[in-house]
Amino acid sequence: MAAPNTDSDDIQPKSRLRLSRRSKRSRFKRLVRYLYIRFIRLRSHPRAIARGAAAGVFAGSYPLFGLQTILGVAIAAAIGGNKIVAAAGTWISNPFTYVPIYAFNYQIGRWILGQSTVTNLTDRSPQEWMNLGMDITVALMTGSTLVGIILAAVSYYGALRLAYKLKSNRSNR
C-alpha cells in the first residue's frame, strides 16, 4: 500500500484559501508580537520614549498623509525623543480614524477662529469657492495644532508613566 501523497499540488482550492488566510493571520500576529516585544525592550530613557510618543501623536493629528511619520520622526529628533516610538505614535491617524479626527479638528478650528457655518453653497463664484477652501484649510490646521498639542501632552505623561513602569518591571526581574 502506497503512502498518501501530501504534496501541496493535491490540496483542494478551498484548503489553500484556508491555509492562506491562516498564514496571513499568523504573520500578522507575529508582527504585532514582534512590535510589542520591541517596545518592551526599548533601552531609551523613559523621558526619551515619552517625548517620542508626544512627537508622533502631535504629527499624527495633522492631515498630512504620507508626511506624518517623517514629521513625527523629525520632531522627535529635534527634541531628543525616541524615533521608533514617534513613528508608532503617528498611527493614531489611520484609515479608520481619519474622518472622526479631522472632522473634530476642523470643528475645533472653526470654533477658535469664530467661523460661522457655510450656507447656500450653490450660489458662489469661483473666487468664493477658493476662499472657502482656504477657510477650511486654515480651520483644519488651526484645530489640528490645538488638538495635537493637547494630545501630545496627554500622550507624553501617559507614555512616561508606562515607560517608568516597564523599566521598573524589567529591573525587578
3-state secondary structure the chain: CCCCCCCHHHCCHHHHHHHHHHHHHHHHHHHHHHHHHHHHCCCCCHHHHHHHHHHHHHHHCCCCCCCHHHHHHHHHHHHCCCHHHHHHHHHHCCCCCHHHHHHHHHHHHHHHHCCCCCCCHHHCCHHHHHHHHHHHHHHHHHHHHHHHHHHHHHHHHHHHHHHHHHHHHHHHC
Chain segment 114-123, per-residue pLDDT in tens = 887 655 556 6
Model confidence at 161: pLDDT above 90: yes
Which of the given ranges, 4-8, 11-15, 92-96, 124-128, has the highest pLDDT on average?
92-96
Query: What pLDDT does residue 170 have?
Result: 66
Query: What pLDDT does residue 17 have?
Result: 53
Q: Classify burial at 81, counting beta carbons within 10 Å of its beta carbon; exposed 0-12, middle 13-18, buried 19 or more.
A: buried
Model confidence at 19: pLDDT above 60: no
pTM as predicted: 0.69
| Residues in Cβ contact with 96 at an 8 Å cutoff, skipping those fewer than 6 apart | none
